[in-house]
């Protein structure tokens, strides 16, 4: 048995743990990183990377199928196993960046095994006991498996097994119309599968109602069946013929994907022994992401908030301040963007129109711009969608974009919201023509144009100057 003393022990080598380990060791701390399964965690192995790689394969198929700009469409020859090879290739290309070798090269001590607290300052991994000045729980999340009668008896998929498929499902049933469900629904439909999404409430229910509809309409137009308000009553069948019985009828498919959310992975940590309080499956954290044990912090999906790789990375930057430098830190949430990578993409930062209206009432102005009015979108035949900017006292409090490259278009708004910039900062930019990015400037312009063009004082002033100034 080895007794290891260190400054910082990070449990989980996923998006959050790796960011923190790389930052902390390069700033001079002694760092131990504990990983029980695959380096890179969910994002690399079962999440962002495989899902975006499969969506890209599906995008190629759809581009061929749809044609456009004067080019006739044709049914693409889809080799599902080859598309999954592309997924594997994408993972393999990124893998070295997250590998044990790279992190050991940086000076991190990487220990492979599952970590379990045996006391307030002791973590056991196999035969090793780690005594650290500070610990960070970065153990991610696991798929929620809802207590649906019969589910345990059918061979269902989750994001952890979906990317192992080598043969395209003939008919994929998806329970859950969140980002996982819809991204994978569109990917599979474009690769030639029949797809039915069964959603208990509203698909993409947290998103801006108007722009959510833009995405759902497109998916439906491409043949994805989306049944909303369908409470699942039971599941039955065998591989190849699985039936999901809902309040809205029964749906039978060949495969079933369960995508109804993910819960923090805390079970294995024996948190009681460490004096870390957990309530309803969530850690009790202060605003600086510290648990009820002052030596233990949590970041990423394990922290129990929104679940995004960039959020985990941001939170790594938050906890590094108190842990390494003894400085106070507070985690913000208002400036974290999110994107659902369907086509069109749906991107959001801050408040949706509904949330902003509830919070700010008449003080809210919604400035908008349509892709149909953007010259680049017109030239490339991708005119579906719009941007809405929720503005209070001249500052954006929320931005929602549905349309081509919506995620990329969020960049200036992420800058504005993070730094408290006013609409004038976006309106004052000069952007290359023709770019999709001009929708952002157009939306900012739309905020100012009533103030400028519908203002009688401005008109009077202009008339006066024209009459009096020689």
Ligand X SMILES: Cc1cc2nc3c(=O)[nH]c(=O)nc-3n(C[C@H](O)[C@H](O)[C@H](O)COP(=O)(O)OP(=O)(O)OC[C@H]3O[C@@H](n4cnc5c(N)ncnc54)[C@H](O)[C@@H]3O)c2cc1C
Ligand Y SMILES: NC(=O)c1ccc[n+]([C@@H]2O[C@H](COP(=O)([O-])OP(=O)(O)OC[C@H]3O[C@@H](n4cnc5c(N)ncnc54)[C@H](O)[C@@H]3O)[C@@H](O)[C@H]2O)c1
CA dihedral 49, 53, 54, 59 (to 10 degrees): 140
Which position has the token pair 């954006």?
396
Going from the C-alpha of 429 to that of each of 69, 202, 350, 412, 442, the distances in angstroms are 31, 37, 22, 10, 11
Q: Among ligand Y, ligand X, none, what does residue 114 contact (CB within 5–8 Å per kind)? A: ligand X
CA-based nearest residue to 195, from 177, 167, 171: 171
CB 190 within 8 A of CB 274: no
Q: 143 — alpha (psi -120 to 50), left (phi > 0) or beta?
A: beta
Comparison of 138 and 446: residue with beta carbon closer to ligand X: 138
Q: Among ligand X, ligand Y, none, what does residue 175 contact (CB within 5–8 Å per kind)? A: ligand Y
Binding mask 290-309 for ligand Y (x = CB under 6 A): -----------------xx-
Tally of CB atoms within 10 A around 76: 17
Comparison of 269 and 439: residue with beta carbon closer to ligand X: 269
Q: Is residue 1 helix, strand or coil? A: coil
Comparison of 48 and 418: residue with beta carbon closer to ligand Y: 48
Comparison of 172 and 198: residue with beta carbon closer to ligand Y: 198
Least distance to ligand X from the beta carbon of 148, Å? 19
State yes or no: residue 47 binds ligand X (CB under 6 A). yes
Where is 272: in which H helix or E strand?
A: helix 271-274
Judged by CB under 6 A, which of 76, 261, 275, 322 binds ligand Y? 261
Question: Please, which of residues 139-198 interact with ligand X by CB under 6 A?
Answer: 139-140, 159, 180
Judged by CB under 6 A, which of 51, 62, 254, 348 binds ligand X? 51
Count residues binding ligand X (CB under 6 A): 39
Residue ranges with strand state E in 189-254 = 194-198, 225-227, 232-238, 241-246, 249-253
Judged by CB under 6 A, which of 6, 8, 9, 12 binds ligand X? 12
Q: Is residue 339 helix, strand or coil? A: strand
Positions in the binding site for ligand X (CB under 6 A): 11-17, 34-38, 41-43, 46-48, 51-52, 114-115, 138-140, 159, 180, 265, 268-269, 300-302, 307-310, 312, 341
Positions in the binding site for ligand Y (CB under 6 A): 146, 175-181, 183, 198-201, 205, 232, 259-262, 307-308, 338-341
């Amino acid at each position: 048995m080895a007794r290891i003393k260190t400054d910082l022990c990070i449990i989980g080598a996923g998006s959050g743990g790796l960011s923190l380990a790389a930052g902390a060791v390069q700033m001079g701390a002694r760092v131990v990183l504990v990983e029980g399964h695959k380096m890179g965690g969910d994002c690399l192995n079962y999440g962002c990377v495989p899902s975006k790689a499969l969506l890209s394969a599906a995008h190629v198929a759809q581009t061929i199928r749809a044609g456009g700009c004067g080019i006739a469409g044709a049914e693409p020859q889809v080799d599902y196993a080859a598309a999954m090879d592309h997924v594997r290739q994408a993972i393999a290309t990124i893998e070295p960046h997250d590998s044990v070798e790279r992190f050991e090269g940086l000076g991190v001590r990487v220990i492979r095994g599952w970590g379990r607290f045996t006391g307030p300052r002791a973590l056991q991994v196999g035969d090793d006991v780690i005594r650290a000045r500070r610990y960070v729980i970065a153990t991610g999340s696991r798929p929620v498996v809802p207590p649906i009668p019969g589910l345990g008896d059918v061979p269902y998929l989750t994001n952890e097994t979906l990317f192992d498929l080598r043969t395209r499902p003939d008919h994929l049933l998806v329970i859950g119309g969140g980002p996982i469900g819809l991204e994978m629904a569109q990917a599979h439909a474009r690769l030639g599968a029949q797809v039915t999404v069964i959603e208990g409430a509203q698909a993409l229910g947290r998103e801006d109602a108007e722009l959510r509809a833009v995405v759902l309409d497109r998916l439906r137009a491409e043949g994805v069946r989306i049944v909303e308000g369908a409470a699942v009553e039971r599941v039955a069948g065998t591989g190849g013929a699985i039936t999901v019985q809902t309040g809205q009828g029964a749906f039978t498919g060949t495969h079933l994907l369960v995508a109804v959310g993910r819960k923090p992975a805390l079970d294995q940590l024996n948190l009681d022994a460490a004096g870390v309080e957990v309530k309803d499956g969530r850690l009790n954290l202060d605003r600086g992401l510290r648990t009820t044990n002052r030596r233990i912090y949590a970041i990423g999906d394990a922290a129990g908030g929104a679940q995004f790789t960039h959020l985990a990375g941001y939170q790594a930057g938050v906890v590094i301040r108190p842990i390494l430098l003894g400085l106070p830190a507070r985690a913000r949430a208002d400036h974290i963007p999110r994107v659902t990578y369907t086509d069109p993409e749906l991107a959001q930062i801050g408040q949706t129109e509904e949330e902003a209206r509830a919070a700010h009432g008449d003080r809210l102005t919604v400035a908008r711009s349509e892709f149909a009015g953007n010259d680049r979108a017109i030239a490339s035949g991708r005119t579906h969608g719009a941007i809405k900017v929720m503005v209070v006292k001249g500052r954006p409090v929320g931005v929602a974009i549905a349309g081509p490259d919506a995620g990329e278009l969020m960049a200036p708004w992420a800058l504005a919201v993070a730094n408290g910039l006013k609409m004038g900062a976006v309106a004052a930019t000069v952007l290359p023509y023709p770019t999709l990015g001009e929708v952002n400037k157009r939306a900012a312009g739309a905020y100012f144009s009533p103030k400028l063009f519908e203002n009688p004082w401005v008109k009077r002033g202009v008339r006066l100057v024209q009459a009096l100034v020689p």
